[in-house]
């Protein structure tokens, strides 16, 4: 990789970046690949990276209908945490959180991981009990976590309304000191550059329109850039999973709904932790630019349009005002939505299918940004060996037939 001195950086800036090397190539598709990954979100790109770097599988293409990272990966609110309740989930999300710790070094790309601490407020007796249970389970699994009292919450979040005289008073909080955030685009860009450097072809503006089979085996894909043969196909298309899997004749236990978020006008630093208030369905952190990043629950109807409804946003902000009164005086700057893929048990699907050579990774719903490094690691392993390892094993599609569901409706928080 080319190194730039401070002088060459200044020269290039004056040059409008004319001579800058592209971070990844933009190749035409080859006729055939060993593995084609559909979807260049974080999960698809991390899978490609691990196939190439850990399994030496480099004849790989990632096919993206838009631009890489333009799906949910570039639309989320970047919260990273591992406070799930069930053993398979704790293993999955803590693997991922711990991989985030060193990801900038691993990819040689600053993903701006910021383990600033994460609080889940307890605003009802029921929530307090549920969070105590989660914190015990987390500590038993070796995940750093603690319950804190209202005074400590106020210390960590001075702008919080700690009055007893409100509809949902603060009774305490679950605290994960090394939860936090990372820059979402940088995660996609870092994996893209590192995969490209290892020979992976990332093909953007190329929509998959069909999956071809011979009997029970996949043979390739029809795309807007022509037919591509593939020995293995991995579908990693989040909110579009049901549509893409239908191309191979596979029905998925997924619902697609819009999840929205918004940012306020930028203000001076007022909150340096991430706070989730799940009883009122809202959460907030502050970006490096100073915007308050705010989100809430998903829209309550199925949707593929990437545009949510105004009532869902209005409800989010209204509900948060009691907990954070200062936001009533702020102008909201912009909002956006992404289509998320929800399973019934609010846990992901990382699986082989009944079609030979067809694999699927989806169902991360409202919470898959935090899982990108771990998901890519275990999914690449499943594709390379054609069998799941210890962590992926629990998340197979067969769990819905066998009644082995992994209920994470509380931990999923905004998706419960
Ligand atoms: P995506 O990033 O959506 O990538 C899938 C890609 O597939 C897309 O780029 C799409 O264009 C492509 N594709 C689809 N169909 C085709 C086709 N036919 N041909 C070719 N390409 C196709 N998670 C957290 O952990 N923390 C959070 O704070 C958080 N906040 C969120 C806030 C919002 C508003 C939203 C919408 C989501 C949030 N999430 C959060 C969830 C998280 O963003 C997703 O779970 C995660 O990004 C999913 O990544 P992915 O790579 O699977 O999907
Ligand atoms: O999964 O932590 C999460 C989350 C927060 C906001 C949206 N998803």
Identify the segments of the chain with pLDDT beneath 70: 1-4, 415-416
Q: Name the β-bridge partners of 35.
A: 60, 232
Please report the DSSP string for 297-357 in residue order. PPPSSB--SS---HHHHHHHHHHHHHHSGGGGGSPEEEEEEEEEEE-TTS--EEEE-SSBT
Token code pair at residue 375: 């998901």
What digits encode the pLDDT tens for the residues 81-139?
Answer: 999 999 999 999 999 999 999 999 999 999 999 999 999 999 999 999 999 999 999 99
Q: Quick one: which of 341, 347, 340 has its CA closest to 399? A: 347
Please report the pLDDT score of residue 94 as a whole number.
Answer: 98
Give the CA distances from residue 31 to residues 45, 65, 177, 227, in Å, rounded to whole numbers and listed in that order: 21, 18, 49, 8
Q: Are 33 and 229 in contact (CB under 8 A)?
A: yes
Q: Ligand 1 center to residue 67 CA distance, Å?
A: 12
Ligand 1 within 6 A of CB of 285: no
Closest approach atom of ligand 2 to CA 412: 1
CB of 72 shorter than 6 A to ligand 2:
no
Question: What is the sign, positive or negative, of the torsion defined by CA atoms of 322, 328, 330, 333?
Answer: positive
Going by C-alpha positions, the residue among 278, 368, 297 that lies closest to residue 337 is: 297
Question: Among 369, 375, 379, which residue has the most ligand 1 atoms within 8 Å of its CB, making it the best to mutate?
Answer: 369
Sequence-separated (6 or more) residues with CB below 8 Å from residue 42: 69, 73, 184, 187, 188, 191, 368, 369, 372, 376
pTM: 0.96
Six-digit token pair at 324? 């954070």
- Enumerate residues 6+ apart whose C-beta is below 8 A from 7: none
CA of 172 to the centre of ligand 1 (A): 32
Domains of the chain: 115-179+256-343 (3.30.9.10)
| Widest Cα–Cα separation across the chain | 67
Atom from ligand 1 closest to the CA of residue 368: 45
Spatial separation of the C-alpha atoms in residues 73 and 210, rounded to whole Å = 24
Which of 370, 374, 408 to mutate to test ligand 2, by most ligand atoms within 8 A of the CB atom?
Answer: 370
- What are the angstrom distances between the C-alpha of 120 and each of 50, 131, 315, 320, 416? 32, 8, 19, 14, 14
pLDDT of the residue at 415? 58
Residue 229 contacts by C-beta under 8 Å, 6 or more apart in sequence? Answer: 31, 32, 33, 219, 220
Q: How far apart are CA 150 and CA 44, in angstroms?
A: 41
**161 vs 79: CA distance, rounded Å:** 22
CB of 179 shorter than 6 A to ligand 2: no
Query: What residue ranges in 353-398 does DSSP mark as E strands?
Result: 358-362
Show the DSSP H helices in 102-183 as ranges.
103-107, 125-140, 150-156
Q: What pLDDT score was predicted for residue 319?
A: 87
Q: What is the pLDDT of residue 123?
A: 96
Does the C-beta of 77 come closer than 6 Å to ligand 2? yes
The rounded distance, in Å, linking the Cα atoms of 282 and 241 is 27
Count of beta carbons in the 10 Å neighbourhood of residue 121: 28
């Amino acid at each position: 990789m080319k190194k730039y001195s401070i002088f060459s950086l200044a020269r290039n800036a004056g040059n409008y970046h004319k001579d800058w090397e592209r971070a990844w190539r933009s190749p035409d598709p080859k006729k055939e690949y060993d593995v084609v990954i559909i979807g260049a979100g974080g999960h698809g790109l991390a899978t490609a990276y691990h196939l190439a770097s850990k399994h030496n599988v480099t004849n790989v293409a990632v096919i993206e209908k838009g631009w890489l990272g333009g799906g949910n990966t570039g639309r989320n609110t970047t919260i990273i945490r591992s406070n799930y309740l069930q053993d398979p989930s704790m293993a999955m999300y803590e693997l991922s959180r711990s991989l985030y710790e060193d990801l900038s070094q691993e990819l040689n790309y600053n993903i701006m991981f910021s383990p600033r601490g994460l609080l889940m407020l307890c605003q009802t007796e029921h929530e307090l009990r549920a969070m105590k249970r989660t914190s015990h389970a987390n500590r038993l699994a070796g995940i750093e976590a603690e319950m804190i009292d209202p005074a400590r919450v106020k210390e960590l979040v001075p702008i919080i309304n700690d009055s007893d005289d409100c509809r949902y008073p603060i009774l305490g909080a679950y605290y994960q000191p090394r939860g936090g955030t990372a820059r979402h685009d940088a995660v996609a860009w870092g994996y893209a550059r590192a995969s490209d450097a290892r020979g992976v072809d990332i093909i953007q503006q190329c929509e998959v329109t069909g999956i071809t089979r011979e009997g029970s085996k996949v043979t390739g894909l029809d795309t807007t850039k022509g037919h591509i043969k593939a020995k293995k196909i991995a579908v990693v298309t989040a909110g579009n999973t049901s549509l893409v899997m239908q191309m191979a004749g596979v029905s998925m236990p997924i619902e697609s709904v819009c999840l929205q978020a918004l940012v306020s006008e930028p203000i001076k630093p007022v909150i340096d932790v991430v706070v989730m208030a799940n009883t009122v369905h809202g959460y907030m952190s502050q970006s490096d630019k100073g915007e308050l990043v705010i989100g809430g629950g998903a829209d309550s109807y199925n949707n593929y349009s990437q545009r949510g409804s105004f009532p869902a946003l209005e409800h989010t902000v209204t509900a948060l005002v009691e907990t954070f009164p200062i936001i009533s005086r702020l102008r909201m700057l912009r909002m956006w939505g992404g289509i998320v893929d929800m399973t019934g048990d609010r846990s992901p699907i990382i699986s082989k299918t009944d079609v030979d050579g067809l694999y699927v990774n989806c169902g991360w719903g409202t919470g898959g940004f935090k899982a990108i490094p771990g998901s890519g690691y275990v999914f690449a392993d499943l594709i390379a060996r054609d069998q799941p390892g210890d962590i992926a094993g629990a998340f197979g599609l067969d769990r819905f037939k066998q009644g082995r569901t992994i209920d994470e409706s509380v931990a999923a928080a905004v998706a419960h």
